Amino acid sequence: MSQKKAQLILEDGSRFSGYSFGADMPTSGEVVFNTAMTGYPESLTDPSYAGQILVITYPLVGNYGVPGFETENGIPLFFESDKIHVKAVAISDYSFKYSHWNATKSLDQWLKEHNVPGVFGVDTREITKIIREHGVMLGKVAIENAPEPAEFFDPNKENLVAQVSIKKSKRYGEGKYNVILVDCGCKYNIIRCLMRRDATVTVVPWDYDFTHMEYDGVMISNGPGDPQMCGATISNIQKAMNVGKPIFGICMGNHLLSIAAGANTYKLKYGHRSHNQPVLKVGANTAYITSQNHGYAVNPEQLDKDWEPYFVNLNDGTNEGIRHKSKPFFSVQFHPEATSGPVDTEFLFDDFIKMMR
């Protein structure tokens, strides 16, 4: 084996030995697992993973390589942001040879280009079980012949949203509906989904007060880390509620809208990161399979009386969305924009647009 040896070291002291691929570079971050079976180019560029070491439970990774960086309307066709956001990736079996018509490079090469390390040959199922039992943990990647990082880095102590958010507002498309997109770590597919529905999307920084602008609706994006760090966004949302135009939040957007509506958030033991999370529309027999990526959840009990739970997780009963009883404000904990994952709830974008009519 010509690959350098590498280790994934967890906070509890357990060590998993494998081999290095991608950048031969030690690192540290919060270790999380995702049970999705496809979509590594999308996941790795999802800003919500900022600060995290991603363990992919599906053992065979890299099979279809990595696509090229072609863009359309100023957005890359196949990625969710312009760079890889994970600190590192840990997998079981890496496919050195890839095969796909739209691939231009291997995962190994792509990680190297972005200076992101990877570890393969580790028992990802065992790591997952440890995290499941113990809760999320910090971790380190150590590489043969390189000094092991001395400290565990805790990304939750930083304002990750501020780090990944756009610095200056940017406009996409020329559509009928004027949508403000508050970028807490936005995935590009939210922009794509809105543009496909005849919207002009103005992406603004996470703490930008957009309420003085002309708009038809506000979208609060997904993003990494602890929602409590985003006080500025929360107060802007509260102002926007007074404006009364439609508001739609996704993931971090659900946290922030919920806090603005009086509720609290708390950290889940190990979060929801997968493509197979079932949610039920509250009060109906309608269930959807959703793509999720979050470590915090909303406690809907303290919601103001004008608000109600919209969706609930069928597996563990956690909140999956809220809505205002009379005004056009709603948010969901899952990812209706998918990429990666199932697209069953994309209709929520239609609902949002309809509210602007």
Chain residues that interact with other proteins, rule: CB under 8 A: 1, 16, 33, 35-39, 41-42, 57-60, 63-64, 67, 78, 92-93, 95, 97-102, 122-126, 128-129, 132-133, 270, 274-278, 280, 285-289, 314-316, 338-344
For other proteins, the closer of residues 166 and 289 by Cβ is 289
Instruction: Give the separation between CA 166 and CA 83, rounded to whole angstroms.
Output: 13
Instruction: Give the separation between CA 51 and CA 195, rounded to whole angstroms.
Output: 29
Longest dimension (CA), the chain: 63
Instruction: Give the separation between CA 66 and CA 62, rounded to whole angstroms.
Output: 8
SS3 307: strand
Whether cis (ω within 30° of 0) applies to the bond prior to 258 is: no
Least distance in angstroms from the C-beta of 244 to other proteins: 33
Residue 97's alpha-carbon distances to 56, 109, 116, 124, 146, in angstroms, are 19, 11, 19, 21, 27
Residue among 40, 12, 27 nearest 131 (CA): 12
**8 Å CB contact between 24 and 143:** yes
**8 Å CB contact between 95 and 60:** yes
For other proteins, the closer of residues 60 and 243 by Cβ is 60
Least distance in angstroms from the C-beta of 195 to other proteins: 17
Instruction: Give the separation between CA 320 and CA 336, rounded to whole angstroms.
Output: 12
Chain-centroid distance, C-alpha 218: 19
Least distance in angstroms from the C-beta of 217 to other proteins: 25
Least distance in angstroms from the C-beta of 28 to other proteins: 22
Least distance in angstroms from the C-beta of 262 to other proteins: 29
Least distance in angstroms from the C-beta of 123 to other proteins: 4
Least distance in angstroms from the C-beta of 156 to other proteins: 21
For other proteins, the closer of residues 160 and 332 by Cβ is 332
For other proteins, the closer of residues 76 and 278 by Cβ is 278
Instruction: Determine how many CB atoms are found less than 10 A away from the CB of residue 96.
Output: 11
Q: Please, how many CA atoms are within 13 Å of residue 214, restricted to the half-sphere of its CB?
A: 4
Residues that are catalytic: 251, 335, 337
Q: What is the CA radius of gyration of the chain?
A: 20
For other proteins, the closer of residues 82 and 93 by Cβ is 93
**8 Å CB contact between 241 and 270:** no
For other proteins, the closer of residues 78 and 307 by Cβ is 78
Instruction: Give the separation between CA 10 and CA 187, rounded to whole angstroms.
Output: 29
For other proteins, the closer of residues 84 and 303 by Cβ is 84
